[in-house]
Amino acid sequence: MDYRTLGRTDINVSLICLGTMTWGSQNSEAEAHEQLDYAVAQGVNFIDTAEGYPVTPVSADTQFLTETYIGNWIAQRGKRDDIVLATKVSGPSRDPIRKFRGGNHRLDRRNILQAVDDSLTRLKTDYIDLYQVHWPDRPVPSFGRRGIATIEDTAETVSIEETLSALAELVQAGKVRQIGLSNETPWGVSEYLRLSRDAGLPRVASIQNAYNLLNRTFEIGLSEFALREDVGLLAYSPLAGGNLTGKYLGGVIPAGSRRDVSRQFVRYDLPNQAVASARYVAIAHAFGLDPAQMALAFVNAQPFVTSNIIGATSLEQLRTDIASIDIRLTSEQLAAIEDVHRLIPDPCP
């Protein structure tokens, strides 16, 4: 396993991070624990979750189960100090099912202080290594929405300064070691860094955004922040919702797959997705590579990536994904990938 430094901290995290978004819906607690055991045995020390998981699909019946499963594993295995544990606080949501703290879950002080205590209880730990803002309080282009034409803040929109000040309280109290962002924009990262400098507030260590062969928009504005300011990318959806494995080609939807059980995920249901996916899968086959491992190896190789968040619903998938750490793409393979990217750039932002 390879390890990289989390931002400007003294924390080293595995280049492969174990994502947990399906635990509690597509995966049972026993399967979650099996994945944790296997990943840790392979050198994975970075575990990412959220109070909003599982989301495949979103359900009031399964809400909070993912953190609960991880907390039970920590209590049973006694390996809390062997892992870097990351979770997230949810911002406001229009989803009628997703309700936190009475449904008024803004990124204000009250919500953040309560959210972290609730997560600590479920995770059965007294500290979180990386506490992330799952998505901004203000309306931004995210989860497939491209661009912003107007500012849509309202009177209820919580300022970044209030959010960061609340996170600072958690760091001072010892409940959180480091803080991070997710689904954030270049302006948002810049504002968090400005407030850190000007107001003496904690510095963000990372940003967790989507990054894969179908969506390389992180490279346009955020990669410079990652490289110059050490706000490294924790890349989520590196397989583009499974599309880069090739299993959905030809309109096939395997039983039990994410597309089968989570119809709300339409981020990758765009016109050029299937064409681009087919071309990337063909490149992998032409070079004798597993398509999933090629897609993951591409993410692993990026200098602005701190960790690549993989997610699996089976142990077989997990083995394949973690093994991508051993693949180094050649210049010829990378050139073939770039040829497709130039022809069909970012079909699924």
The per-residue pLDDT for range 130-148, each reduced to its tens digit, is 999 999 999 887 776 777 8
For every residue of 77-91, DSSP letters joined together read: H--GGGSEEEEEE--
- Average pLDDT (209-231) is 97
**Residue 309 binned pLDDT confidence (cut-offs 50, 70, 90):** very high
Q: Which domains does the chain have, with CATH numbers?
A: 3-343 (3.20.20.100)
And the tokens for 42? 């392979």
Handedness of CA 73, 121, 119, 13 (dihedral sign): negative
Contacts of 296 (CB under 8 A, 6+ apart): 238, 239, 308, 310, 321, 324, 327
Residue 310 has pLDDT above 90, yes or no: yes
Residue 277 has pLDDT above 90, yes or no: yes
Residues annotated as catalytic are 53
Tell me if residue 209 falls in helix, strand or coil: coil
Q: Which of 292, 297, 288 is nearest to 318 (CA)?
A: 292
pLDDT tens column, 150-196: 888 888 999 999 999 999 999 999 999 999 999 999 999 999 999 99
Cβ–Cβ contacts within 10 Å for residue 82, how many? 10
Share of the chain above pLDDT 70, in %: 95
**Which comes out higher in pLDDT, residue 149 or 327?**
327
Kindly report whether the global pTM for this prediction surpasses the value 0.85.
Answer: yes
Residue 55 has pLDDT above 80, yes or no: yes
Cβ–Cβ contacts within 10 Å for residue 102, how many? 8
Strand partners, 233: 207, 305
Tell me if residue 307 falls in helix, strand or coil: strand
Contacts of 287 (CB under 8 A, 6+ apart): 294, 330, 332, 333, 336
Q: Which of 313, 321, 254, 319 is nearest to 28 (CA)?
A: 313
CB 88 within 8 A of CB 182: yes
- Average pLDDT (212-230) is 97
pLDDT tens column, 201-218: 999 999 999 999 999 999
Distance CA 306, CA 303 (A): 8
**Residue 77 binned pLDDT confidence (cut-offs 50, 70, 90):** very high
Distance CA 47, CA 16 (A): 9
Residue 345 has pLDDT above 80, yes or no: yes
Residue 82 has pLDDT above 80, yes or no: yes
